[in-house]
Structure 1
Amino acid sequence: MSDDRDAFVALNIAVLTISDTRTEETDRSGQALAAGVTEAGHRLIDKRIVVDDVYRIRAVVSEWIADERIQVILTTGGTGFTGRDSTPEAVGVLLDKTIEGFGELFRHLSWQEIGSSTIQSRCLGGLANATVVFCLPGSTGACRTAWNGILKEQLDSRHRPCNFANLVIPGRGQHG
C-alpha cells in the first residue's frame, strides 16, 4: 500500500534577485534558479529583482513570508562582503529559526569548486511563518551548486530520511 508521502508534491516557490545592476535580461542567476524550480516540477509563483538595500529586500521577503501561497523563497545576491552586500542583515531578522547546516553544507560543496574563496559566502537558510527561505550568492555557478547539491533534494517531499518540503506542506510538518 502506498503512502501519500511517496508522491511528489510541487511546492510554490518565489525567486528574488538582489542586485544593483541586473535586469530581467541579464539576471542569469535568477533565471537558473527559476529553471531549476520548474524543471523539478515545482511552481514558480513570483520572480523579482530588487536593489541591494536592506529595507527593499526585507519588504519583498516579508511580503512573501506573509503570503500563504508561497512555501519557499530563494534569493540570489548580496551575500558577500562588499559595502552593498546586505542580504543576511535584511533577511536574518525575519527568520523564526535558522538552518545552520545550510551555510556549512553549501561552503563544503563550494570548496570543491572554488577553494578557499567560499569562505566569503554568507549564504543562509531559515524558517519563517511556515516558509523556508534560502539566501544564495549572486553567481550563477553558486546558485547551481546550491540547487543541484542541496535544494533540489531537500525540496523534494520524497527525499528520506528528512527534507524541508515536509515542513511547509500543510498537514505534514510543524508550522509556526
Structure 2
Amino acid sequence: MAHSSSSVFQALRIAVLTVSDSRTLETDSSGQTLIDALQQAGHQLAERALVSDDIWQIRARLCSWIADPQVQVVLITGGTGFTARDNTPQAVSPLLEKSVDGFGELFRQLSLQEIGTSTVQSRALAGLSNGTLVCCLPGSPGACRTGWQGILQAQLDSRTRPCNFVAHLKRLPGQDAQSCGPRS
C-alpha cells in the first residue's frame, strides 16, 4: 500500500450488516471479523445489524444507512452465493448509483489463490450511493479477511495513493475532502 507522507489518516464511520438465516449476533463470526479489522485500522463502527436473507429486509436496512449522514461505508457479509436464499446482490444492486466493477473482479482474483476455481461462485460486489460505499462480501470469516486485507484496508485509508475511496464519501463535520494524488 503506497502512502503519501503529506496526508493524514481519516477515521471513517462504517456499518456492518450480516445477511444470514441461521446466525445470531453472538454466532456471527464473519461480521465480527470485519468489525475487528475496521477497528484495528482506526475506523469507527457506526452500527451493526443482522437480517435474514430477504431482499426487502436487506434493502430496508441498507437504505436507512445510505440515507444516514453519519454512515460513510456499509460492509455486508453473506448472501452472495448461488443458493435460492442468496439474495444480497439482487437486493443491493438497484440501490447503487455507481457500480465498482473492479471490486468483485479483484476479490475473485484474490480468492482464487485461497479457494481455487470455487471463487467463480462468489457474487461479491460494491458500489456508491449517496456518498456511501457499499461492499458485499461472502459470508465466511476467511472471505471477509480476504476482502479487508486485499482491498478494503487500503481503499478505506485516506493515505493510500494514487487513489482511495475516501474522496468519494460523504463528509462528516471536521473531515477534510481528500483527493486522488498524483501518480508516483
Q: TM-score, normalised by structure 2?
A: 0.90
SS of 1:93's equivalent in the other structure is helix
* Deviation of 1:5 (Å): 5.9
1:82-121 mapped onto 2 (5 Å cutoff): 82-121=83-122
- 1:19-71 CA-partner distances (Å, limit 9, x unpaired): 00101111000000000110000000100100000000000000000001000
Equivalent residues of 1:5, 1:157 under 8 A apart: no
Letter in 2 for 1:60: R
Distance 1:164-1:78 versus aligned 2 partners, 3 A rule: same
Query: Partner of 1:138: helix, strand, or coil?
Result: coil
What's 2:182 paired with? none
Select which of 160, 172, 178 maps to 1:172. 178
What pairs up with 1:152-167 in 2 under 5 angstroms? Answer: 152-167=153-168
Partner SS, residue 45 of structure 1: strand
| Counterpart AA for 2:144 | C
The 5-angstrom pairing of residues 25-174 of structure 1 reads 25-168=26-169, 170=171, 171-172=177-178
Q: Could you list the runs of 5+ residues in structure 2 that have no partner in the other structure?
A: 172-176, 180-184
Percent identity (aligned): 58
Q: Calculate the aligned-residue CA RMSD, in Å.
A: 1.4
CA distance in 2: counterparts of 1:147 and 1:99, whole angstroms: 16
Consecutive aligned runs of 4 or more in structure 1 exceeding 4 Å deviation? none
Aligned length: 171
Deviation string, structure 1 residues 85-141 (Cα, Å, up to 9, x no partner): 000000000000000000000000000000000000001000000000000000110
Q: Which residue of 2 aligns with 1:20?
A: 21
Task: Return the alpha-carbon distance in structure 2 between the equivalents of residues 10 and 93 of structure 1.
Answer: 28
Give TM-score, length-normalised by structure 1.
Answer: 0.94
